[in-house]
Amino acid sequence: MELKKAEEQILVKEGYDAMLYLLEEYWKLSGSDNLTDILGGGSYFADGRPADPVFWEYWLEAIEKVKKEGPPPPQVLER
């Protein structure tokens, strides 16, 4: 798998929103809320390739979703 050089940058807020989309999608697909699973998927090999190419694709999809749909809808959180 060859990683393309980034052709554009995203804002910090867009990155945060993409992370939320990514984590939600990962949870839906895997059912895992184990942080070790999530971090393992997002790790890199020594040569810079993502350890899990599918996880990388999820990330790219999450960025596209932010660009097309904007941030995730707000959730009502109880304290």
Question: Domain for residue 79, yes or no?
Answer: no
- Assess if residue 54 is contained within a domain: yes
Residue 55 lies in domain: 21-69
pLDDT of residue 7: 65
Q: Is residue 15 part of a domain?
A: no
28-48: b or e for each residue (b if 16 or more CB lie within 10 Å)? eeeeeeeeeebeebbeeeeee
In a domain, 8, yes or no: no
Burial of 17 from C-beta contacts in 10 A (0-12 / 13-18 / 19+): buried
Cβ neighbors of 41 (< 8 A, separation 6 or more) are 26, 51, 52, 54, 55
Query: Quick one: pLDDT band at residue 76, thresholds 50, 70, 90?
Result: confident
Give how many domains the chain has, as a whole number.
1
Predicted confidence (pLDDT) per residue in 44-63, tens digit? 899 988 888 888 898 899 99
**CA atoms lying within 13 Å on the CB side of residue 38:** 16
pTM score: 0.75
